[in-house]
Chain A
Amino acid sequence: MVITVPRFGTACLAAKVLFDGLRIPYVIPEKLNNETIKAGCLVSPEEICLPFKAMMGSILECSEKGADTVLITGSCGPCRFGEYPELSQKLLKSLKKDVGMIVIDSPSAIGARELLRRIRALTGQSGRSGFAKVRALADSLRALSLADGIAAGARIAAGYEIEKGAAKKLLRECEKEVFRLTEGAAVIKALKSCRRKLRAIKTDPSKDPVKIALAGEIYSMIEPFANLYIEEKLMDRGVCSKRLITPGWWLKDLALKPLGLNSLKIKRACGKYLPSRVGGHAKETVAHAVISRKEGFDGVIQIYPLGCMPEIIAKSVLSAVQEEEGMPVLSLAIDEMTGEAGYETRIDAFLDMLEAKKKRGAGF
């Protein structure tokens, strides 16, 4: 069995460390590019959302490289993501690709026994001891949290750095290096050294950069290609950015969900605007906008794939947040046809507006 995962930002690093630790043969997809998306679009339903097309593209690419099993997570609605496994398996079958799937779903949907069976189908391939397996998982989670932390730190530092582009350069180098390493401990060591370098970046605390909160659909948040590298674009412009949704946050949320202790802050913050769950991460989007306002951020950029149902509801509700909390919102829908120039123009116009507002003081 050669395992693969769809390309999914830093989550791919965690998967790589895990598979390395388990000593399972694997293929980690390359960074997404237009060719991958094109290949995905060719086989996907026309109106399905971009994450599905990206996922199909990356699965096809990896199956060319010899992968025969895909590890993905499932969900039980009401958003389309829950139908991904069914649809992708049918498509792969019709393409005559011999690719199996391990779908990790919540125990409430498939039963704890079935979940364990599926996890065993993965870990059973590993000849390592139980201790080594747990160690691999721990390493993977540690690497994920470090990588997310470094990325978050660099995105704030970009607004204050003295040498322009230092944070972005560091982030790129870090990414290049860790994907090259094949040992969990070495990855963690490299990440720690990156973190030290990040702290050593010279900053000017007297600067007052524009601060943007990024919110939206989870795939567009975590996979940089699905948001056309918006975070890098903001770094280039000397703008601080922060996003709530990271793979680490998602795992924590998932783990605490059965206890009802997940995202308490989020539930509180969006109760007024969006009281019930509507699927996807619409509540998180709205809550993030409300919370960021209180944290002193200047604006929210909401990003979602075209046609994303929960985010459309969030977009509608965000207009109220904009009015009542005075938090400017820019909503950007992305699909495989989004042109980069038009996209950048809209972001630039939004940033200009925020900057002008900042200089002028209060008032909309």
Chain B
Amino acid sequence: MVVGIPGALLFLKYRRFVETFFLELGAEIAASPQTNKKILDEGVKYCVDDACLPVKVFHGHAAWLKDRCDCILAPRILHIEKKEYICPMFCGLPDMLRESIPGLRLLDAIYDSRRGGLKKWAYETAKIVGADKRRADRALRAALEKAPESAASAGRAVRVALIGHDYNIFDRFANMDVIKKLGALGIGTVSADEVSDADAAKETGTLMKRPFWHFAAKHYGACVHLYKSGLIDGVVYLSAFCCGVDSVTADLIRDALGGFPMMVLKIDEHTGEAGFDTRLEAFADMLHRRKTSGNNRSEVRDCVPCGEGAF
């Protein structure tokens, strides 16, 4: 059986995990290539127009894989930990795919921490692929040893925390290779993965209620921790247009950071690269200047109202 693995959403980060898992189960795999213009266009064509970019990209990968495999991996991820979700889209992804792209065969076992979690998902998936439980156990063990991808680029004088959903950060086509762009501007990036869960949890604990989106909690905690420990000079928040989770998380972070430099970069299928570059350059200039002038803001600027001869 050939299992299609779309190179989108969580599979960007956990690619080695899913590939190892299916190879150990004895299945063949067909992986879609890195997102490109054609895949994106296919996604936009099939997907419901209100959906966010990552979901459209996933549709594009599914369409690419449609005739190249027996079934496409698209798990229904409900609960990932106690009282934690990813976002409603992950709960309804198989339903959306099935209605949007006719004739799709999906491998849509449920991942739900309340009902067995990863193990249950592995067993159900193995059953469809045609492997027994023992083999599934072995495959899962082998797969869990594979580390997820990481996306930091250290070693530069100015460092920013690059925060955002992993699928936005790892999809180099969708985000126009923002890490490379930042690197060229002399800016290194720190990812939320570099902060331990305990450190992040300490920060989310100060909120009225822990956010019920797994990534919102993680990003908020990690970003505020990095800010407080003085490891970063700024924050770049990469977000897909109309992302419901980010619309809340970005504001919670901004609120916690006070006047600390933070830029929210929106990506969608129309994002023009020139405007994107300009914003990055302006942000980079500002960070470099802050660094050299000792983080001091001009006192004069604070006092002179706009338009009254500030310059």
Contacts and interface: CB of A to CB of B under 8 A. Distances in A.
B244 interface: yes
Contact of B88 (A45, A83, A309): A309
B1 interface: no
A85 B87 contact: no
Interface stretch (B89-97, B129-137, B165-173, B221-229): B89-97
B50 interface: yes
Interface in B93-121: 95-96, 98-100, 110
A48 B92 contact: no
Contacts of A280: 88
B88 A313 contact: yes
A90 B257 CA distance: 13
Interface in A253-292: 273-280, 282
B88 A48 contact: no
Interface stretch (A19-27, A73-81, A161-169, A238-246): A73-81
B246 interface: yes
B89 A309 contact: yes
Nearest to A101: B208
A308 B51 CA distance: 9
A46 B76 CA distance: 30
B95 A274 contact: yes
A109 B243 CA distance: 25
Given A47-B242, A48-B247, A306-B242, A333 B88 contact: no
Nearest to A307: B242
Contact of A282 (B76, B92, B245, B248): B92
Interface string B230-257: 0000000000011111111011100100
Interface residues of A, number: 42
A279 B88 CA distance: 6
Q: Which of B85, B92, B95 has the most CB atoms of chain A within a 10 A radius of its CB? A: B92
Interface stretch (A10-18, A58-66, A316-324, A347-355): A316-324
B255 to A, nearest CB: 5
A319 B241 CA distance: 23
Contacts of A47: 241-244, 246-247
Interface string B244-275: 11111011100100000000000000000000
Given A45-B251, A46-B247, A317-B99, A86 B91 contact: no
Contacts of A306: 50, 242
A313 B96 contact: yes
Contacts of B209: 74, 85-86
Interface of A: 45-49, 74, 76-80, 82-83, 85-87, 89-90, 94, 109, 273-280, 282, 306-310, 312-313, 315-317, 319-320, 333
